[in-house]
Structure 1
Amino acid sequence: MTTEQTEGLLAMVTVLGMFVLLVLPSLIGIVRDRRIDRQIREAEERRARQQGFAPAA
């Protein structure tokens, strides 16, 4: 592997690492929001069952 190839590989890995660091907080936020939405939906279904209503479709 030549020096130019090594520098190119290092630059590519650096850019990929920066991309991951920029995208990771967004992905964590999306996963967190989906979890909260699921918990809210389950709580609403539980409340509806306790009150004797049919669950919404």
Structure 2
Amino acid sequence: MTTEQTQTLLAMAVVLGMFVLLVLPSVIGIVHDRRIDRQIREAQERDAVRTQKSSSRSTVPSTATWYAEGRRSKKLVNS
């Protein structure tokens, strides 16, 4: 290998190293964002499963709901 080839190889290695140093923070950020997105998606799926389980029970309206419905119907009749 001649001196010129050695210098060229060294210059290419330096350029490649600088490229890696410039791109590495972006790659780390992308990986971090994807991990957070995956965690959010998993949490939403867990919440969806929990709400499906809790909504499978029959619910009875509260007294306040019956009272409000009765008052609404009286207003419509009186008008």
Q: Does TM-score exceed 0.5, indicating one fold? A: yes
* CA-CA distance at 1:34 after TM superposition: 0.3
Off by >3 Å, runs of 4+ in structure 1: none
- What one-letter code is carried by the residue in structure 2 that aligns with 1:14? V
1:4-49 per-position Cα deviation (integer Å, ceiling 9, x unaligned): 0000000000000000000000000000000000000000000010
- Identity among equivalent positions (%) equals 75
Higher relative contact order, chain-length normalized (CA < 8 Å, sep 6+): 1
TM-score (norm 2): 0.65
- Aligned residue pairs: how many? 53
Unpaired segments ≥5 residues, structure 1:
none
Counterpart residue number, 2:40:
40
**Distance in structure 1 (CA, Å) of the matches to 2:42 and 2:6:** 52
Gapped runs of 5+ residues in structure 2?
54-79
